[in-house]
Chain A
């Protein structure tokens, strides 16, 4: 069996809200292989977002081990985690999170700029990304001049410009109408088809069913895993 991309063992994460303690994740175990396509579902407060933040190295577990591509990452420093995020992990958010004052091209270029890639190479890669997403004529538009679907496509281009191993999408179609959402879903599935590991958090059962593997969460634990059921 090849090394899994993500291996979570007995992960615990709790938050303090005033006097009460919320156990967002309680001893969660999860293994996701390279190139998998998973949908994470569950009611609000079930720990989906916390799980995504942990997998995306934006948050640290209180207890438990996390191996990314065979490497223990919970003990890495903030800067090392930032480097790993930069090279290996892409994020797509429900509310797009585009920088409003930057053009579509500049938004897509952000990860390249942060990684210190020189301008000529950057321009080439951004142009390619824009062309492959059918946004070539929108390169100089700012986010407020783009439609919802276009904005999310820009966000996906930005998340994938560094060719990460893992793409995390948190409700990527949540703010889009059905047709546009369908379009964005197909785009994400196309990326998966090209070998990217894709994890989507969604409320939409229709969208969840499209994924080969479905993870249902409840009260900080995995209630069901379609991979285990098979």
Chain B
């Protein structure tokens, strides 16, 4: 029997029972579409997060007080376990490192802002001029914190877009030059940031930026929340991390009590996290493919029962067991592959609609998911078609011919 004839025969058999075939094709299509749409969602979430991190700034290194990983043994750890605070002087010292381009200390605290008779809780970020360049913030008007000695507490503030919008909602004209009260300080507004609309964890729209030493005295603290460091070039990130660690170790009397994280490390973690998530949803969607496979098996078993006489006839006409098996396998393969193709179209259509509805999410199904979906569909079809095909091939021709349909 020639392959073309085999598939032509299988096609005629499938078309002979249109409703049943259509339903199994539909089940398979929904399974494949589910795999494609769900992985597209998972992957787009991953890319969204990665893009968010990239927008935080490039070649970024974060310095955190305290050590998250167990380091080597140091005599200091025997004496004290309290991590030494990070200070503005520490941050200042990091500027000496040749691999470092920019350094910005950061103090963060909650406070209340008061302006134009309105009060609003705000997150206050005490930092320096360099922060603007490191985080790639854009200004709507005015300018950022002045370039002065880091120890000087100039009474000025730069407002995030949302804070500005809410505190100065009734104001006609610019907020520049207006007074704002934060805690017990009166500060002059010297700049307003453009809305960023995004930002992991700390959204700059809801921040008020003040000079670092002002924040320190406002919150009565000496220690920094973070030091943000920008390496000169991408290739310098590792060197910068080493130098930063080394400088702080020397300053902290040989104790390595800070955590230095490269942006790529954070990015890699999130990347892995979301890849795992995407795989998990792909796995869940694959269950629907298995269900579709079982449905195809069901349909094929009914087909064998319904076409018992025909199988007997084919055997009488000289069909071998192999012919019969192949004919039923070909039918299962046709049903599942047509279903897979419809599912492919359906899945891409679904992803397209998602892209139209949520433009900020790049909902493109990853290639591996499309291929895996199609291969799984075909192989479940064949796998679950094998049992009915074997059953058909083993029928006794005499009994099959005598059976009443």
Contact = CB atoms under 8 A, between A and B. Distances in A.
Contacts of B273: none
A106 B313 CA distance: 14
A118 B282 CA distance: 44
A82 B398 CA distance: 13
B317 A110 contact: yes
Given A58-B316, A58-B398, 18 more contacts: A58-B401, A59-B397, A79-B321, A82-B315, A83-B318, A85-B317, A86-B317, A91-B317, A93-B401, A97-B313, A97-B401, A101-B12, A101-B15, A102-B12, A110-B317, A115-B1, A116-B2, A158-B317
Chain B: interface secondary structure?
Answer: helix
Given A101-B12, A102-B12, A116-B1, A56 B316 contact: yes
Interface string B280-324: 000000000000000000000000000001100111111111110
Contacts of B398: 53, 58-59
Contact of A78 (B2, B9, B15, B321): B321
B139 interface: no
A207 to B, nearest CB: 22
Nearest to B17: A101
Nearest to B405: A100
A220 to B, nearest CB: 16
Contacts of B1: 113-116
B16 interface: yes
B277 interface: no
B309 A97 contact: yes
B360 interface: no
B184 interface: no
Nearest to B309: A97
Contacts of B318: 82-83, 85-87, 111, 114-115, 162
Contacts of A58: 315-316, 397-398, 401
Contacts of A86: 317-319
A160 to B, nearest CB: 12
Nearest to A155: B313
A101 B5 contact: no
A110 B315 contact: no
A131 interface: no
Contacts of B314: 110, 114
B313 A99 contact: yes
B13 interface: yes
Interface string A102-134: 100010001101111011000000000000000
A162 B317 CA distance: 10
A223 B162 CA distance: 108
22 contacts: A53-B398, A58-B316, A58-B401, A59-B398, A79-B320, A82-B315, A82-B320, A82-B323, A97-B309, A97-B316, A99-B313, A101-B12, A101-B15, A106-B12, A110-B317, A111-B318, A113-B5, A114-B318, A114-B319, A114-B323, A158-B317, A162-B318
Interface of A: 53, 56, 58-59, 78-79, 82-83, 85-87, 91, 93, 97, 99-102, 106, 110-111, 113-116, 118-119, 158, 162
B307 to A, nearest CB: 9
A142 B323 CA distance: 24
A85 B316 contact: yes
Contacts of A53: 398
Contact of B320 (A78, A91, A101, A158): A78
B335 to A, nearest CB: 16
Most buried by A among B5, B313, B316: B316
Contacts of B15: 101
User: 10 tightest CB-CB pairs across the interface, nearest first?
Assistant: A86-B318, A101-B16, A82-B320, A85-B318, A58-B397, A113-B5, A79-B320, A97-B313, A111-B317, A91-B316
A164 B397 CA distance: 19
Contacts of A114: 1, 314, 317-319, 323
Contacts of B320: 78-79, 82-83
Contacts of A102: 12
B371 to A, nearest CB: 34
A111 B320 CA distance: 12
Contacts of B321: 78-79, 82
A134 to B, nearest CB: 23
B322 A79 contact: yes
Most buried by A among B16, B309, B397: B397
A115 B398 CA distance: 21
Contacts of A91: 316-317
A79 B318 CA distance: 9
Interface in B220-256: none
Contacts of A56: 316
Interface in B126-163: none
Contacts of B317: 85-86, 91, 110-111, 114, 158
B401 to A, nearest CB: 7
A113 B322 contact: no
Nearest to A53: B398
A12 B13 CA distance: 38
Interface string B179-214: 000000000000000000000000000000000000
Contacts of A99: 310, 313
Given A58-B397, A79-B322, A83-B318, A113 B9 contact: yes
